[in-house]
């Protein structure tokens, strides 16, 4: 029996952290956008945008963690 964690379980576990990182990056990008005349993103808008954008970030984090776990066992 294979006792390895699948990528989807790792991604589900890491979703909160990945979505939080996306929200922070979006907020900072909104602040940088003010330098070129764009309106700033509010923290609420950044968090709401991070909810769907956190899914691919969590999947990438899960794949990265799975690869590191595979390297550690080999």
The number of distinct structural domains making up the chain is: 1
According to DSSP H, which parts of the chain are helical?
7-33, 43-73
What is the reported pLDDT for 64? 97
Do residues 18 and 58 touch, judged by C-beta distance below 8 A? yes
pLDDT at 1 over 70: no
Please indicate, yes or no, if residue 73 is contained in any of the structural domains: no
pLDDT score for 3: 83
Give phi and psi for 2, each to the nearest 5.
-85, 115
Q: Could you report the per-residue pLDDT of 10-68, keeping only the tens digit for each?
A: 999 999 999 999 999 999 999 999 999 999 999 999 999 999 999 999 999 999 999 99
- Please state the pTM of the whole predicted model: 0.87
Examine residue 23 and state whether it is found in any structural domain, yes or no.
yes
Does 2 have pLDDT greater than 80?
A: no
Res 74: pLDDT: 84
Say if 2 falls within a structural domain. no
Range of the domain at 35: 7-68
Rounded Cα gap, residues 19 and 50, in angstroms: 5
Task: Answer whether 56's CB lies under 8 Å from 16's CB.
Answer: no
């Amino acid at each position: 029996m294979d006792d390895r964690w699948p990528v989807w379980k790792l991604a589900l576990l890491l979703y909160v952290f990945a979505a939080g990182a996306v929200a922070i990056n979006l907020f900072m990008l909104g602040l940088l956008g003010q330098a070129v005349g764009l309106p700033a993103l509010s923290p609420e808008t950044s968090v709401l945008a991070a909810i769907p954008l956190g899914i691919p970030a969590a999947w990438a984090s899960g794949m990265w963690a799975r690869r590191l776990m595979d390297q550690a066992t080999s």
